[in-house]
Amino acid sequence: MDAYQHKLISKLSSIIFLTTLIIPYLLASKQCDFPAVFNFGDSNSDTGGLSAAFGPAPPPHGETFFHHPAGRYCDGRLIVDFIAQSVGLPYLHAYLDSIAPNFTHGANFATAGSTIRTQNTTLFQSGFSPISLNVQFWEFSQFRTRSQLPKNPVFKNLLPKEEYFSKGLYTFDIGQNDLTAAYFSGMTTDEVIAAVPDILKHFSEIVKDIYGQGGRSFWIHNTAPIGCLPYVLERLPLRTPEVDRYGCGSPFNSVAKYFNEKLKELVVQLRKDLPLAALTYVDIYSVKHNLITHAKKYGFEHPLVACCGHGGKYNFNPKIGCGATKNINGTAVLIGKPCKNPSVRVSWDGVHFTEAANKWIFNQIVDGAFSDPPLPLRLACHREAHIPYHNPSLFTTSSPLMDNNQLKLISKLSCTIFLAALIIPCISALKHCDFPAVFNFGDSNSDTGGFSATFGQAFPPNGETFFHHPAGRYSDGRLIVDFIGLPYLHAYLDSIAPNFTHGANFATAGSTIRSQNTTLSQSGFSPISLNVQSREFSQFRSRSQLPTNPVFKNLLPKEEYFSQGLYTFDIGQNDLTAAYFSGMTTDEIIAAVPDILNHFSKIVKEIYRQGGRSFWIHNTAPIGCLPYVLERLPLRTPEVDRYGCGSPFNSAAQYFNEKLMELVVQLRNDLPLAALTYVDIYSVKLNLITHAKKYGFEHPLVACCGHGGKYNFNQKVGCGATKNISGTAVLIGKPCKNPSVRVSWDGVHFTEAANKWIFNQIVDGAFSDPPLPLRLACYREAQ
């Protein structure tokens, strides 16, 4: 009998003793009958969040149980799946997965790669998700509110009842990535240990916030023995004395045990702080460690070797993961192959456990043998079973008449009139396109709720003019994309009451064409760059055709809509401003434009490959006339034109647009079945800003909603910002009295009135190449 077994017997003896004390409580306690489960975590419990947002987990994930990828990084089910099943509920639908969502019995906010603390690296740099625990809480908070709004019975019946939020079970499995991220960044064991109190402080705040919103039953997993996981052992070489007799890394496991010890202490404190909460601490560490170190005893083999992977001692290669392929003579050949029998393996892909292991682990914890208090899952809502007796050592593991702009405008309109005269006979003979759907890609200029759904709702007074409440848009009302003519586009990442019958919106505020090397919290630029939006579209296209249930089928586009629909693009502005904000010069930014547009070109071609045929492409705005640029990037007097706009910034935008136009011409040659329309938004917006009074607008360089300064724009006090004064939240970022006569809404985005005016200028093709109206943008021959 080894030391671990002695500890286990001692622990079980204590459990038996305590159980005799609480048997009267257990016998008198009614089963909880949780109506819903709300889960927070990382890839150990992600049922599709990361896949929906950043690209699906490839085959052979899901092969054992689902027989196809199912958003899980596993061959089948996760522990959270067995939890839901155990309490009589369906498997949890991921909050970020808007295709055929059913949240009747809860939602899953976990995403693979998530951490408790926000990381300072991007997903593509480190593999750690931008959807950290605080973001998951923001998602939950708005889910809780918005899930009670729909009146349509179709949607209402797919959302949890209000009382489920207080009666439901709140499960947590997160923290492992905080430790491994620290190690992978170069921190020592002592440094990682020193960070644990702050990590758990963030965790505590989230539990308290959920409690503040009505959560009462909490089922909290501690973290795994990370020193026994192949991906840690492969990436962090150890000296021989640091490897235990099972092949695990002792330093890494000692950190995990310290984390768990402090997490246990925190749960004890939370019971005092949250008098109505039932908090169960679940010792997953001991169960997983026992399985790994005694795998043969339980019918498993090779516990430190990944079932699915490629090469090396642990069959794990961070560059060739499970499901990875290699192009050999034009054929994708599977390199990251699965083993023949995952049912006898512990590690699925070197990071995650197999379904067989997950099921075994769940069976150990479900009856409370590894819980504090030792209550079964079905009784985890009972606070009174948290008996007064507490032994700290128990369950632990160690001014001219016309200016140049007007002359250019007249010149452009003259050319347009001339060209229109040539093609009027063609246009007259053309039937309207009657686009059945619109699929939009972009940034905040066309985001109808993607960023809000993922990272937190846009605050009031956004939406006040038209929707009379925040509606996911960074404007007082509608955006240009809203005026196109079909029902307003639902954001792909917004899973609450989604209706994609006539298209979907993949845009998110802060998005760029090229992926950025900064995190959202560092720079404000979204991790949902254009390539990510393309991946979202790709899986939306395929998965939207799968549901057979008429409830869901009727809320998704028909297959033919993907070839008949209109593909709109409004993106690129943030690539330029991000470059300026990072310190690049105008010349350096101009030099970067070809690469930016090369990325753009690839996405258009990929959508064409998937059947897209009609493209409506906006160029970028005169960024030198936007308050947030003028406020953040001071200029010398000669660099400011007579309208107050920054000439260097506008010159970069003009160069971008010139090269975009050339690209569109080239794409017409490359994509013989595509109709590509280039829309000169720049000229329309510049005309509005520089001649605002002429069109009934005023103060074009001053934000309607903001706080202080020449431009009424303050990066730290944005539109809708509040300040706590004597315990009361006082609105500081206030809107102006009449947004209908203002151009800039918040210093970054346009007002509804300006958006509508701009749309009215472009809809008939006066600023398009070819000069075709929007309703005829499906015709290639008119080019």
For the chain, the domains span: 3-304+348-385, 404-776
| Contact (CB, 8 A) for 131 and 111 | yes
d(CA 308, CA 381): 38
Residue closest to 56 by CA, chosen among 103, 9, 96, 102: 96
Beta-bridge mates of residue 617: 569, 678
Residue 695: enclosing H or E segment and its boundaries? Answer: none
| Contact (CB, 8 A) for 427 and 765 | no
Beta strand residue intervals within 393-444, DSSP E: 438-442
pLDDT at 383: 77
**Inter-CA distances, 491 with 122, 439, 442, 472, Å:** 23, 10, 11, 9
If phi > 0 it is left, if psi is from -120 to 50 it is alpha, else beta; for residue 258 that is: alpha
| Contact (CB, 8 A) for 56 and 63 | no
pLDDT at 783: 42
d(CA 319, CA 525): 27
Beta strand residue intervals within 620-686, DSSP E: 675-679
pLDDT at 692: 98
Residue closest to 38 by CA, chosen among 206, 157, 175, 204: 206
CA angle, residues 205, 210, 211, in degrees to nearest 5? 95
Q: What is the full DSSP assignment across 10-42?
A: HHHHHHHHHHHHHHHHHHHPPP---S-EEEEES
**Inter-CA distances, 714 with 373, 472, 554, 709, 749, Å:** 50, 21, 45, 7, 14
Tens of pLDDT, residue by residue over 234-246, are: 999 999 999 999 9
Residue closest to 600 by CA, chosen among 648, 652, 650, 661: 661
**For residue 72, what is the DSSP state?**
-
3-304+348-385 placed in CATH 3.40.190.10: no
404-776 placed in CATH 3.40.462.20: no
187: buried, middle or exposed (CB in 10 Å: 19+, 13-18, 0-12)? middle
Residue closest to 82 by CA, chosen among 114, 50, 39: 39
Q: Which residues are catalytic?
A: 43, 349, 352
Query: Length of the chain, please?
Result: 783
Token pair of 722 as six digits = 């509040």
**Inter-CA distances, 170 with 38, 83, 108, 211, Å:** 5, 11, 10, 10
d(CA 641, CA 626): 13
Residue closest to 657 by CA, chosen among 408, 289, 285: 408
Question: From edge to edge, which strands make up the β-sheet containing 169-173?
Answer: 106-108, 37-41, 169-173, 217-221, 278-282, 371-372
Residue closest to 292 by CA, chosen among 235, 360, 341: 360
d(CA 383, CA 379): 9
| Contact (CB, 8 A) for 12 and 140 | no
Q: What are phi and psi of 480, to 5 degrees?
A: -55, -40
Tens of pLDDT, residue by residue over 291-345, are: 999 999 999 999 999 999 999 999 999 999 999 999 999 899 999 999 999 999 9
Q: Are strands 371-372 and 614-618 parallel, antiparallel or unpaired?
A: unpaired
Q: Are strands 728-731 and 722-725 parallel, antiparallel or unpaired?
A: antiparallel
d(CA 275, CA 654): 61
Residue closest to 347 by CA, chosen among 309, 290, 294: 309
Beta-bridge mates of residue 27: none
**Cα dihedral 487, 489, 490, 492 in deg (nearest 10):** 150
pLDDT at 430: 66
Q: Answer yes or no: same fold for 3-304+348-385 and 404-776.
A: yes
d(CA 526, CA 533): 11
pLDDT at 353: 98
Residue closest to 505 by CA, chosen among 561, 559, 448: 448
Q: Are strands 438-442 and 566-570 parallel, antiparallel or unpaired?
A: parallel
Q: Which residues of the chain have pLDDT under 70?
A: 1-29, 384-430, 781-783
